[in-house]
Amino acid sequence: MPDPLNRKPWPMKWVAVAIIACVIPYTWITLAYRKANPAYQPYEDSKQRANVLRLLDAGYQRIQVSAERPADPQDLAATLTAPATIVAAPGGLTPALAETLVETPQLPRSFSSVSAPRETASLLPYSIVFTCTLGDQKHQLGGAQVFVRKGSVVIVPQFEPLDGELTARSMETPVVITLPGGSLKPGHYTLLLAGSEQSQQWTMDVR
């Protein structure tokens, strides 16, 4: 019977072969199936948390909406059935929102056309169709953040970067953003579509 205390160790070459045989498949499986997680950005995360807290403390409700490019003809027709009276307004955010946000967002320069209904029901979606002039040719409109406080609604368009060498010009076709049904309680509202050089403003009733 062999003595277990006097067994000879494996040759190092076989130990190395065994390690390589395990490491290579493990590495391949890990790289092939691992989900790519966004890199942790402590400054950005802290800024976003501070932004949320400041908005809540100031009484704002924030709604994130996506942009539809080009606009659906049905949405465009709906805004023209009983259109609101759109008027030009000074560029920038409202003073109250500008003081609340941690960082001033990038805004389009101006709007060449805006169309929205002058009234809606609280449970129905509310669509806004517009054409804007971008301030940066390396981005396109990707959606909007909507800030609601009492009777004030501020719509802040958001941008997403274009891939590669693509560039954007002023939008040639209307874009639609839609507030989901139930976003606004019944009442009278003043809406501001914010631009850096010129904004657009109108009033709207929610039944």
110 Cβ contact partners less than 8 Å away, ≥ 6 residues apart: 91, 132, 133, 195, 196, 197, 198
Q: Is residue 155 part of a domain?
A: yes
For the chain, percent of residues with pLDDT exceeding 70: 65
Residue 38 CB-density burial (10 A; 0-12 exposed, 13-18 middle, 19+ buried): exposed
Q: How many domains does the chain have?
A: 2
Residues 10 and 100 in one domain: no
Give the other-Cβ count within 10 Å of 110's Cβ: 18
Same domain, 199 and 133: yes
Query: 100 with 13, same domain?
Result: no
Please indicate, yes or no, whether residues 106 and 142 belong to a single structural domain of this protein.
Answer: yes
Tell me how far the alpha carbon of residue 20 is from its chain's centroid: 46
Query: Any residues with CB less than 8 A from the CB of 152 and at least 6 apart, and which?
Result: 94, 96, 189, 190, 192
**Per-residue pLDDT tens digits for 3-40:** 555 566 656 666 666 677 776 766 666 666 665 555 55
29 and 75 in a common domain: no
Angle (CA) 12-16-18 rounded to 5° is: 115
- pLDDT of residue 168 exceeding 90, the answer is no
pLDDT at 158: 86
Residue 68 resides in a domain: yes
Q: Which of 17-31, 95-109, 174-188, 190-204 has the lowest mean pLDDT?
A: 17-31
DSSP lists the bridge partners of residue 140 as 160
In this structure, the answer to whether residues 21 and 101 fall within a common structural domain is no
Q: Are residues 77 and 179 in the same domain?
A: yes
Closest CA relative to residue 162, chosen from 80, 71, 77, 69 = 69
**What tens digit of pLDDT does each residue of 136-155 get?**
566 677 789 999 999 999 99
Q: Tell me how crowded residue 21 is: count the other CB atoms within 10 A of its CB.
A: 10
Domain membership flag for residue 43: no
Q: Residue 51 — very low, low, confident or very high, per pLDDT cuts 50/70/90?
A: confident
Clarify whether residues 8 and 99 are in a common domain: no
Residue 100 lies inside a defined structural domain of this protein? yes
Residue 8 lies in domain:
4-33
pLDDT digits (tens, 9 = 90+) for 76-96: 666 667 899 999 999 999 999
Specify whether the CB–CB gap between 133 and 170 falls below 8 A.
Answer: yes
Same domain, 96 and 144: yes
Tell whether 79 and 8 lie within a shared domain.
no
Residue 99 has pLDDT above 70, yes or no: yes
Q: Is residue 158 included in any domain, yes or no?
A: yes
Looking at the DSSP assignment, which residues form a beta bridge with residue 131?
Answer: 113
Q: Are residues 9 and 87 in the same domain?
A: no
- Which residues have a Cβ under 8 Å from the Cβ of 71 and sit 6 or more positions away? 129, 173, 174, 175, 176
More reliable by pLDDT, 24 or 55: 55
Q: Is residue 63 part of a domain?
A: yes
How far apart are the C-alpha atoms of 71 and 42, rounded to whole Å?
A: 37
